[in-house]
């Protein structure tokens, strides 16, 4: 989950690395560090617990160099501290390593090295790598790193400097992203293109088992066994301005307000009015194959899992294919039955989520067909999958996902429509869904205009220590995602239940101090949802409804414009993103960087 950035060229390296760390801080923000090659060839290191600004305040005025690597950390092994911050060095301070991922056999390696006389300075798994590289008798830095990695089990994205091998950075990847930035007589490396796009849009993404050597005027890629690989730079779609706040106070606020444009982007060029369907060329699934699918299993984690739940409902309603969603982290550990007639769909904003990627790899090993629904072009899941679709949400920097969730659900609506029209969905229904999709951007804009009212409601409910979110069928995944948003960003305990389950246990929790947020669309379950409100009101519970019309039994109602029944969940979650945001704001939370969380979960 951590952030890596490195540079080799002619420019002063420290300002470049600090700028890169600022852009990557959403990936980890409990400590940071930097190491550069000084003018005399020595490695100079500065580390600090806390945010990147703490690191910046510690860097001495005379800290010049043209080669360096840096890191912002999300703690796994060892508590946040100056000592546990990366980079990690060997005993002689000749080798410096920054690392994303987890070394599974670190304890075993640490014990072996300690028995051989190595003294460790930190509690981290990463320090093992620095000592392994330093102890290698290989002649080149590349071979030293390769030899060390052969001893390692687990995931890693690493960058390495060595005092005896100046003028180069060696990097490697296995399960954690590493991206090379190709400049004019300068090279960059990072764990995310966000750190690179201000300087170059030409990138090379390493695959698992690949390494690279960066020099100021050249780079080469190869396997950990030493075989040369071919690397063709590609152009990053987004420019540096896409990663800026654009006048908003936080990235979360900016990204909530980008949703109308983002939804328009995911729809653009894909609608086929003639046949009342959509074009999703990247699926690599022809009509005959689509008709042979007997079941769809959607795999994701967190917000992506909730988007998959809504997606499964859309597929069942529009395509009449049995579909369900499951946490990828659970799926791969329960020895699932992999059915050749089942289509598997892997969902991930980053396309690098470790649990989802591992599930994809296991499914591929067993011969399953896997589609990817991801945001980041060229990401690991996009490369591993047989086909798929990009959600085109654009860069999402806030740890809490908003616009990517919405665009992922819209992407599932497109997939459901495509599969439905291949099968038994009528032209009339196809046109109805298309018109509903086209209305979404304007309706999102309409919802966002109600921010002042939602802000006042958030203040009124911010004193709650716990909240219950309920919904039925289409509304239940919306309730789950809204509950997660509130937890993530405000730290208020919240949980979601199907409204039909209230009397089977959760009703015991209802009292005046525990508000309920109810998702109440105008559909065939409207009266049953209203009955749930009656049950809550009879126990003196406070109710905030999200609905298409005022709810008499609710204390407050957030009104949402009506779309087609199947598409209503896309809109009903958006006001609750704003509700979570303004609740967190009222409580003084660090909205873009919630405690204990990071954006891209590339470790298990």
The answer for residues whose C-beta is within 8 angstroms of residue 328's C-beta and 6 or more apart is 299, 300, 301, 305, 346, 353, 355, 356, 358, 359
Query: Rounded to an integer, what distance in angstroms lies between the CA atom of residue 557 and that of residue 93?
Result: 62
Burial class (CB in 10 A: 0-12, 13-18, 19+), 161: buried
- List C-alpha distances in Å: 177 to 189, 230, 437: 10, 18, 34
Q: Contact, 403 vs 391, CB < 8 A?
A: no
Q: Which tokens sit at 77?
A: 């092994």
In the block, residue with structure tokens 């997939």: 415
CB atoms inside a 10 Å sphere around CB 184: 10
Helices (H), 38-181: 52-58, 106-115, 126-135, 141-149
Annotated active-site residue in 47, 49, 254, 599: 599
Helix (H) or strand (E) holding 559: strand 556-559
Return the SS3 of 121.
Answer: coil
The HSE-up count of residue 481 (CA atoms within 13 Å, CB side) is 35
Q: Contact, 494 vs 486, CB < 8 A?
A: yes
Query: What value, to the nearest 5°, has the Cα angle with vertex 371 and ends 369 and 377?
Result: 140
398 catalytic per annotation:
no
Q: Contact, 137 vs 156, CB < 8 A?
A: no
Query: Rounded to an integer, what distance in angstroms lies between the CA atom of residue 110 and that of residue 131?
Result: 9
CB atoms inside a 10 Å sphere around CB 603: 19
Helix (H) or strand (E) holding 67: strand 67-73
Query: Rounded to an integer, what distance in angstroms lies between the CA atom of residue 355 and that of residue 361?
Result: 10
Q: Contact, 203 vs 244, CB < 8 A?
A: no
Burial class (CB in 10 A: 0-12, 13-18, 19+), 83: middle
CB atoms inside a 10 Å sphere around CB 4: 31
Annotated active-site residue in 2, 301, 398, 404: 2
Query: Parallel, antiparallel, or unpaired for β 187-190 and 556-559?
Result: unpaired
254 catalytic per annotation:
no
Q: Which long-range contacts (CB under 8 A, 24 or more apart) does 420-426 make?
A: 420/318, 420/319, 420/320, 421/275, 421/276, 421/277, 422/277, 422/287, 422/290, 422/291, 422/319, 423/290, 423/291, 423/319, 423/320, 423/321, 424/320, 425/318, 425/319, 425/320
What residues are labeled active site? 2, 599
């Amino acid at each position: 989950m951590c952030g890596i950035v490195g540079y080799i060229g002619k420019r002063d390296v420290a300002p470049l690395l600090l700028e890169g760390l600022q852009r990557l801080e959403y990936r980890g923000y409990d400590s940071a560090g930097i190491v550069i090659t000084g003018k005399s060839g020595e490695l100079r290191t500065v580390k600090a617990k806390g945010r990147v600004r703490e690191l910046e305040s510690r860097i001495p005025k005379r800290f010049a160099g043209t080669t360096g690597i840096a890191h912002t950390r999300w703690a796994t092994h060892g508590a946040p501290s100056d000592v546990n911050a990366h980079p990690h060095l060997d005993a002689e301070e000749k080798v410096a390593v920054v690392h994303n991922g987890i070394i599974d056999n670190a304890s075993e390696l640490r014990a072996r090295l300690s028995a051989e006389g190595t003294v460790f300075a930190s509690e981290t798994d990463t320090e093992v790598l620095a000592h392994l590289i330093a102890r290698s008798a290989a002649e080149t830095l590349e071979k030293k790193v390769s030899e060390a990695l052969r001893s390692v089990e687990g995931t890693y994205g690493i960058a390495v400097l060595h005092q005896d091998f100046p003028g180069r950075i060696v990097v490697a990847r296995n399960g954690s992203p590493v991206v090379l930035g190709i400049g004019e007589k300068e090279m960059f490396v990072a764990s995310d293109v966000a750190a690179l796009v201000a300087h170059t849009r030409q990138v090379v993404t390493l695959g698992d088992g690949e390494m690279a050597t960066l020099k100021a005027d050249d780079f080469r890629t190869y396997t950990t066994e030493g075989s040369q690989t071919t690397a063709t730079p590609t152009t990053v779609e987004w420019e540096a301005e896409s990663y800026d706040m654009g006048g908003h106070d936080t990235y979360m606020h900016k990204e909530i307000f980008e949703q109308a444009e983002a939804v328009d982007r995911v729809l653009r060029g894909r609608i086929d009015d003639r046949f009342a369907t959509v074009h999703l060329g990247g699926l690599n699934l022809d009509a005959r194959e689509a008709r042979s699918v007997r079941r769809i299993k959607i795999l994701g984690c967190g917000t992506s899992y909730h988007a998959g739940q809504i997606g499964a409902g859309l597929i069942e309603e529009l395509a009449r294919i049995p579909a369900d969603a499951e946490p990828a982290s659970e799926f791969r550990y329960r020895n699932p039955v992999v059915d050749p007639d089942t289509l598997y769909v892997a969902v991930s904003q980053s396309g690098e989520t470790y649990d989802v990627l591992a599930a994809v790899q296991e499914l591929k090993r067993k011969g399953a067909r896997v589609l990817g629904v991801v945001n980041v072009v060229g990401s690991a899941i996009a490369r591993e999958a047989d086909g798929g679709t990009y959600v085109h949400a654009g860069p999402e920097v806030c740890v809490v996902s908003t616009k990517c969730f919405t665009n992922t659900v819209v992407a599932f609506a497109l997939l459901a429509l495509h599969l439905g029209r291949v099968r038994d969905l009528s032209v009339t229904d196809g046109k109805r869904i298309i018109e509903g999709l086209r209305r979404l951007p304007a309706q999102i804009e309409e919802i966002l205009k109600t921010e002042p009212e939602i802000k006042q409601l958030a203040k009124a409910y911010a004193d709650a220590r716990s909240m219950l979110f309920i919904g039925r069928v289409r509304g239940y995944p919306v309730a789950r995602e809204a509950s997660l948003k509130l937890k993530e960003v405000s730290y208020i305990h919240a949980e979601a239940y199907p409204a039909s389950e209230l009397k089977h246990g959760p009703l015991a929790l209802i009292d005046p101090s525990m508000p309920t947020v109810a998702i109440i669309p105008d559909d065939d379950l409207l009266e049953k949802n209203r009955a749930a409100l009656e049950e809550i009101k009879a126990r003196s519970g406070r109710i905030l409804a999200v609905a298409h019309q005022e709810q008499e039994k609710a204390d407050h109602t957030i009104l949402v414009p009506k779309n087609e029944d199947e598409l209503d969940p896309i809109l009903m979650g958006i006001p609750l993103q704003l509700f979570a945001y303004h609740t967190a704001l009222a409580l003084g939370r660090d909205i873009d960087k919630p405690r204990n969380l990071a954006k891209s979960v590339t470790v298990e």
